[in-house]
Amino acid sequence: MAVSPQQVQNAIRLLRGLNVMLDADLAQLYGVETKALVRAVKRNRDRFPDDFMFQLSDEEFADLRRHSGTSRSWGGRRYRPLAFTEQGVAMLSSVLRSPRAIAVNVEIMRAFVRLRRLLASHTELAKRLDEMEHRYEGQFRTVFDAIRQLMQSPEPERRRIGFRAERA
C-alpha cells in the first residue's frame, strides 16, 4: 500500500515549536504496530538523542487526548507517546529496514522539505511586504494592513459551552 503525501502531511504536528510526528502515526504509515516501533527505538536508544526524539509531557498528552477524543478508560493509550523530529524520523530508517519503511521514509523527508519551503516563502513574502511598506510610507497603509490581515491564520471561532439564560 502506497502512502500519499497528504497522509504524511496530516501526521506532522507542531509541538514545542518543532515539527514532529508521533510514534502511533509513524507506526501506521510504516505498517507496523506502535509497540513494535517503540520497542525498536528502545533497543537503539543511543541513536535517538533528545533533539531527535522526546516523550510528551503529561500536559501535552492530556491536550492530545482532548483534541483527538481518545478514551481514558478503555481502548486508548495509557503511556505518553514519543515525538520524532525530522532527524529522528530519518534515524528510524536505520532501525526499521523493510522496503515499506524505506518508501515511507522517503515520502516523509519530502513532506518535511515541502513544509520548510512553504515556511521560507511565507517569511520571504513578509519581508518583501515590510520593504514595500517602508518605501511607500502612508500612501498605501490601508492596502498593507489588509494584506497583513489576509496573511494571518484565521482564529477558529469558539462557541461558548454551557447553558445560557436569556435575560428578559
Q: Which domain CATH number covers 111?
A: 3.10.260
Residues 6+ apart with CB under 8 A from 58: 80
The domain in which residue 32 lies consists of: 5-117
Is residue 105, in this structure, part of any structural domain at all?
yes
Q: For residue 21, tell me if it sits in a domain.
A: yes
> Around Cβ 21, how many Cβ atoms within 10 Å?
24
Whether 93 is in a domain gets the answer yes
Q: With respect to residue 164, please indicate whether it lies within any of the assigned structural domains.
A: no
The pLDDT-based confidence of 123 (bands split at 50, 70, 90) is confident
Q: Is 138 part of any domain?
A: no
55 lies in some domain: yes
Is 134 inside a domain boundary? no
Span 76-115, pLDDT tens digits: 677 889 999 888 888 887 787 777 776 777 777 777 777 7
- The structure's pTM equals 0.59
**pLDDT higher than threshold 80 for residue 66:** no
Instruction: Count up the domains in the chain and report the number.
Output: 1
pLDDT of residue 87: 84
Tell me: pLDDT of 119 over 60.
yes
